[in-house]
A and B are shown apart, each in its own frame.
Chain A
Amino acid sequence: MTLVNTLYVWAIGADRVATITWTAGAVCTEALARASIVELMALTGGARLPVLADIRKWKSMTRDARTFYGNATDTFSALALLVSSPATRMTANFFIGLNRPNVPTQMFDDEAEALRWLRRYAVA
Chain B
Amino acid sequence: MIRAAADRFDVIERMITSLAQGDLFLETPVFNDDPELEAIVLGLQMLAEELIASRAQLDRRAHELERSNAELDVLSRGFIRLSELSNLLLSCNTSAEAFTVVADSAREMYGGLSGGVYLTGPSRDLVDAVATWGDLAVVASFPPEDCWALRRGHSHLARPSGPEPFCEHARPDGPRTSLCIPMLAQGEAIGVLHLVGRPDVAARVLTTSAQRLAVAAAEECALALANVRLREKLAVQSVRDPLTGLYNRRFAEESITREIARAQREGKPLAFVILDLDGFKSFNDEYGHDGGDIALRAASTLFVESIRTSDMASRLGGDEFLLLLPGSSVEAAIAKCDVIRARLRLQEVHHRGRVLPSITLSGGAAGFPDHGSNAEALLRAADAALYEAKRAGRDRVTAAAPTGPPSRDIEFSEKAPE
Q: A87 CA to B35 CA in the complex, in Å? A: 7
- Give the nearest-CB partner of B49 in chain A: A63
- CB atoms of A91 and B46 under 8 A apart: yes
B241 at the interface (CB under 8 A from A): no
Contact with B along A81-92 (1 / 0, CB 8 A): 000011101110
Which residues of B136-159 are within 8 A (CB) of A? none
Contact with B along A40-64 (1 / 0, CB 8 A): 0000000000000000000010010
- Give the nearest-CB partner of A94 in chain B: B46
- CB atoms of A86 and B49 under 8 A apart: no
- CB atoms of A94 and B35 under 8 A apart: no
**Of A63, A87, A94, which contacts B38 at CB under 8 A?**
A87
Q: A107 CA to B368 CA in the complex, in Å? A: 112
**Of A63, A86, A91, which contacts B35 at CB under 8 A?**
A86
Q: A87 CA to B43 CA in the complex, in Å? A: 8
- CB atoms of A85 and B49 under 8 A apart: no
**Of A60, A63, A86, A98, which contacts B36 at CB under 8 A?**
A86
CB distance from A124 to the nearest CB of B (A): 38
B39 at the interface (CB under 8 A from A): yes
B53 at the interface (CB under 8 A from A): yes
CB distance from A7 to the nearest CB of B (A): 19
Count of chain A residues with a beta carbon within 8 Å of a chain B beta carbon = 10
**Of B35, B42, B50, B53, which contacts A60 at CB under 8 A?**
B42
**Of B42, B50, B53, which contacts A90 at CB under 8 A?**
B42
- Give the nearest-CB partner of B53 in chain A: A63
Q: A86 CA to B36 CA in the complex, in Å? A: 6
CB distance from B43 to the nearest CB of A (A): 5
- Give the nearest-CB partner of B48 in chain A: A63
By a CB distance below 8 angstroms, the chain A residues around B53 are: 63
By a CB distance below 8 angstroms, the chain B residues around A63 are: 46, 49-50, 53
Q: A86 CA to B32 CA in the complex, in Å? A: 12
- CB atoms of B42 and A91 under 8 A apart: yes
- CB atoms of B50 and A86 under 8 A apart: no
- CB atoms of A87 and B49 under 8 A apart: no
- Give the nearest-CB partner of B36 in chain A: A86
CB distance from A64 to the nearest CB of B (A): 9
By a CB distance below 8 angstroms, the chain A residues around B38 are: 85-87
**Of A85, A91, A98, which contacts B50 at CB under 8 A?**
A98
Contact with B along A68-103 (1 / 0, CB 8 A): 000000000000000001110111001000100000
By a CB distance below 8 angstroms, the chain A residues around B40 are: 86, 90
- CB atoms of B39 and A87 under 8 A apart: yes
Q: A89 CA to B38 CA in the complex, in Å? A: 11
By a CB distance below 8 angstroms, the chain B residues around A60 are: 42
CB distance from B149 to the nearest CB of A (A): 42
Tell whether A85 pairs with B43 under 8 Å between CB atoms, given A63-B50, A63-B53, A98-B50: no
By a CB distance below 8 angstroms, the chain B residues around A90 are: 39-40, 42-43, 46
Q: A91 CA to B42 CA in the complex, in Å? A: 8
Q: A85 CA to B42 CA in the complex, in Å? A: 12
CB distance from B33 to the nearest CB of A (A): 13
Q: A63 CA to B38 CA in the complex, in Å? A: 17
Q: A85 CA to B38 CA in the complex, in Å? A: 10
- Give the nearest-CB partner of B45 in chain A: A60
By a CB distance below 8 angstroms, the chain B residues around A86 are: 35-36, 38-40
CB distance from A67 to the nearest CB of B (A): 8
By a CB distance below 8 angstroms, the chain A residues around B43 are: 90, 94
- CB atoms of A85 and B46 under 8 A apart: no
Q: A87 CA to B49 CA in the complex, in Å? A: 16
CB distance from B175 to the nearest CB of A (A): 40
Q: A85 CA to B41 CA in the complex, in Å? A: 13
By a CB distance below 8 angstroms, the chain B residues around A94 are: 43, 46
Q: A85 CA to B36 CA in the complex, in Å? A: 8
B residues with CB within 8 A of A: 35-36, 38-40, 42-43, 46, 49-50, 53
A residues with CB within 8 A of B: 60, 63, 85-87, 89-91, 94, 98
Query: 8 interchain pairs (CB within 8 A)?
Result: A63-B49, A63-B50, A86-B35, A86-B39, A87-B38, A87-B39, A90-B42, A94-B46
Identify the 8 closest CB pairs spanning chains A and B, nearest first. Answer: A86-B39, A63-B49, A90-B39, A87-B39, A90-B43, A86-B35, A87-B42, A94-B46
